A and B are shown apart, each in its own frame.
Chain A
Amino acid sequence: DVKVTQSSRYLVKRTGEKVFLECVQDMDHENMFWYRQDPGLGLRLIYFSYDVKMKEKGDIPEGYSVSREKKERFSLILESASTNQTSMYLCASSLFFLRGATNEKLFFGSGTQLSVL
């Protein structure tokens, strides 16, 4: 089975800190995604990547950046954490890019609950 691993299940940070959320997948998937999940808002896409060193903005990229130096690892970076970035962050991967393979399903990690104080 595909495994998508997020390095931290819970994280508490201070306002202004630089925060790294790490995600690793073990199935050689091309595509990786970072979502943010908030009550009443569902999942919103922050950034995605369809290849090493490639990245594209999702719906809510402001305040975030990403890094994909290796195929299996996709990092989400909060340059200067703010309280409104307190949320659940979900990483996902898929084998093919969704464009042209629309029945491809996403494999998700177990999420990182980030609290910014």
Chain B
Amino acid sequence: AQTVTQSQPEMSVQEAETVTLSCTYDTSESNYYLFWYKQPPSRQMILVIRQEAYKQQNATENRFSVNFQKAAKSFSLKISDSQLGDTAMYFCAFISTYNTDKLIFGTGTRLQVFP
């Protein structure tokens, strides 16, 4: 069975600094998608970034980028120039292209950005 692990329950960073959130996953499949979702205090889950496993190039979205290491099954999220509005829970998620009934979520990392 596929699993997603986020080993950092909580992290903090100072405004304007860079922070990296870790995510590892376990799968025997070669083709899949990985996602990072953000859940701010408003509780509205928002898609931050998406990576396709067959693409070697790491995805980027403005200040957000990923370090996708397929062999190591690692998918970390880097937030550059952190802003107070980045304070949120961040969830890593996985979906297989072969068994795509549902997304599998990690347990989340709570990020606090300090002024």
A binding-site residues for B, Cβ under 8 Å: 33, 40-45, 48, 56, 58-59, 88, 90, 92, 97-103, 105-106, 108-111
Contact = CB atoms under 8 A, between A and B. Distances in A.
Contacts of A33: 102
A43 B93 CA distance: 10
B91 A98 contact: no
A40 B33 contact: no
B97 to A, nearest CB: 5
Interface in B9-49: 9, 32-33, 35, 42-47
Contacts of B86: none
Contacts of A92: 45
B107 A42 contact: yes
Contacts, number: 59
B9 A40 contact: yes
Nearest to B32: A102
Contact of B102 (A40, A98, A105, A111): A98
A95 to B, nearest CB: 13
Q: Please classify how large the interface on chain B is, using the bins under 10, 10 to 19, 20 to 34, 35 or more.
A: 20 to 34
A100 B35 CA distance: 17
A58 B103 CA distance: 10
Given A43-B91, A103-B33, A110 B42 contact: yes
B50 A100 contact: no
Contacts of A41: 107
Interface string B88-115: 0001000111001111011110000000
B95 A102 contact: yes
A45 B95 CA distance: 13
Contacts of A44: 105
B64 to A, nearest CB: 15
Contacts of A97: 100
A48 B101 contact: yes
Contacts of B50: 103, 105
Contacts of A88: 43
Contacts of B95: 98, 102
B23 to A, nearest CB: 11
Contacts of A98: 95, 100-103
**What 5 pairs across the A-B complex have the smallest Cβ distances?**
A108-B45, A99-B100, A43-B105, A42-B107, A111-B43
